[in-house]
Amino acid sequence: MIKKKTYVIVGLGLIGGSLAAAISKRIPNASVIGVSRSSQKISFAKKKRFIDEGFTDFKSAVPSADYIFICTPVDTIPKLVSEIDRYAKPGTIVTDVGSTKSEIVKSVERKEMKHIQFIGSHPLAGSHLTGVRHARPDLFDRAFVFVTPSKNTSAKAVRDISLFWRKLNTSVKIMSPEVHDQLVSEISHLPHATAALLMHAVSSKALSYATSGFLDTTRVAQGDPRLWAPIFLTNRMNLAKNLNTLEQALAQLSRLVRQGKAKPLVRFLKEASAKRSKLA
């Protein structure tokens, strides 16, 4: 018989709700507890059978937890980890799902944790939509999950949290918080910044005729700024460097367009097309 484990999800939004739903669906004998500041979200998550129980205050939920997942905006995570440590039982594994990792891990490690073991995670799954109403149990299916131990993380915590994510049908990649932040800056934060820039660059008159190409390119610009501003700010050095690279590429393209010669422009576009075609 599999021993019953208790999973506490703090923050019932898109990722927290989906995580609760995925655990309830995929992990047998799991007790899933949701913590939300909103009793309506708790009722909704209970009705959808994402969670077994819910609390508006994490102090009631944390003491029984084997695993705790913090699913709130990145700038709120370090403080929550410290507070949770006061109420958790010894050995509780605490992770987060934040889109940046270095600042969170450094900030947590600056304080001595008395009860918990913290290890950062980041599931590379989601959407521009937010809130528990958009949560779904299959959100993480076949997604990459970055697990980001530091030199102080125990091998057991890495093993346990990796095993957990694999149970949700994900592909786990282990790397340092610093490497994580460099990579996601290029494949997630820079594209988000670019989509936002495009929205600023286009006139309202032209927008009324926007169709699939424009909509595909700018979908992520709809993301919640209350989530995205802290993501940009906690990864600002990497993002600033990548924006600089983008500026250089933009200057090159601008030169080619002004020159008006087809051959170098075709070469530039062909290179981009070939690179993109290798992806799904």
- 32 lines the binding site for ligand NAP (CB under 6 A): no
CB 126 within 8 A of CB 227: no
Give min distance, CB of 133 to ligand NAP, in A. Answer: 9
Q: Which three-class secondary structure string do you get for the chain?
A: CCCCEEEEEECCCHHHHHHHHHHHHHCCCEEEEEECCCHHHHHHHHHCCCCCEEECCHHHHHHHCCEEEECCCHHHHHHHHHHHHHHCCCCCEEEECCCCCHHHHHHHHHCCCCCCEECEEEECCCCCCCCHHHCCCCCCCCCEEEEECCCCCCHHHHHHHHHHHHHCCCEEEECCHHHHHHHHHHHHHHHHHHHHHHHHHCCHHHHCCCCHHHHHHHHHHHCCHHHHHHHHHHCHHHHHHHHHHHHHHHHHHHHHHHHCCHHHHHHHHHHHHHHHHCCC
Q: Which of 8, 12, 21, 108 binds ligand NAP (CB under 6 A)?
A: 12
Contact residue for ligand NAP among 20, 65, 73, 148 (CB under 6 A): 73
CA dihedral 11, 13, 14, 15 (to 10 degrees): 0
- Counting contacts by CB under 6 A, is residue 61 touching ligand NAP? no
Shortest Cβ 2–ligand NAP spacing (Å): 28
Single out the residue of 6, 24, 36, 121 in contact with ligand NAP (rule: CB under 6 A). Answer: 36
- Considering only the stretches 72-80, 190-198, 199-207, 245-253, report the one whose residues sit in contact with ligand NAP under the rule CB under 6 A: 72-80
Per rule CB under 6 A, count of chain residues that contact ligand NAP: 27
CA dist 207 to 23, 41, 199, Å?
41, 35, 9
CA atoms within 13 A of residue 268's CA, in its CB half-sphere: 14
Whichever of 183 and 253 has its CB closer to ligand NAP, that residue is 183
Of 81-89, 125-133, 243-251, 258-266, which part binds ligand NAP (CB under 6 A)? 125-133
Does 33 interact with ligand NAP (rule: CB under 6 A)? no
Instruction: Pick one of 6, 7, 11, 21: the residue that binds ligand NAP (CB under 6 A).
Output: 11
Tell the smallest beta-carbon distance from residue 27 to ligand NAP (Å): 20
Stretch that binds ligand NAP, among 65-73, 82-90, 246-254, 262-270 (CB under 6 A): 65-73
Of residues 225 through 254, those in contact with ligand NAP by CB under 6 A are 227, 231
Q: Which of 6, 7, 14, 104 is in the footprint of ligand NAP by CB under 6 A? A: 14
* Contact set for ligand NAP, span 104-123 (CB under 6 A): 122-123
Q: Does 15 bind ligand NAP (CB under 6 A)?
A: yes
Which residues contact ligand NAP (rule: CB under 6 A)?
11-16, 36-38, 41, 71-74, 76, 97-99, 122-123, 126-127, 130-131, 224, 227, 231
